[in-house]
Amino acid sequence: MAIPKLKPLEQASGKTKSIVKPVLIGIIVLLLGAFGLEMSNNDFDLGSLLGGSSLEESRVSRDTEGNVLFDKAGNIVTDGSLGKGADEYNCDDFATQPEAQAFFLKVGGTGNDVNNLDGDDDGEACESLPQGSQN
């Protein structure tokens, strides 16, 4: 089977140009926007933006090394409050096992246990903590 040759855009039909040019311009704008966010060290939580939050309310907080900060529930910190990097939590940060389990699952579970909350790899985090209710 012969591989079809692609015509340069200047030789394309008017209909093709009217479709391809806006698509290429859109891709370039997205890439420039992403590059600008990277250079300015800004990041936004798309879930909260799509939920109706403002840009300022959706700005992701980072530590001095650029790591995303999480609260104890495993949510990305967007309000500028103090949080920790996902890899800075340990069992002492949680009052109950269900609270630690919820955090553990939200930040990656057994496939991404950067905190070693599940020392025996059985899927249960901080088993030595009391079995109270999740906060």
For residues 44 and 60, the answer to whether their CB atoms sit within 8 Å is: yes
Closest by CA position to 105, among listed 84, 129, 74, 128: 74
Closest by CA position to 69, among listed 45, 51, 48: 45
Task: With a cut of 90, say whether residue 86 has pLDDT above it.
Answer: no
For residues 83 and 77, the answer to whether their CB atoms sit within 8 Å is: yes
Residue-wise pLDDT tens digits, 23-54: 999 999 999 988 877 777 677 877 878 888 88
Select the more confidently predicted residue: 60 or 24.
24
Residue-wise pLDDT tens digits, 87-113: 788 899 889 999 988 888 888 788 877
Supply the DSSP symbol for 70: E
For residues 107 and 86, the answer to whether their CB atoms sit within 8 Å is: yes
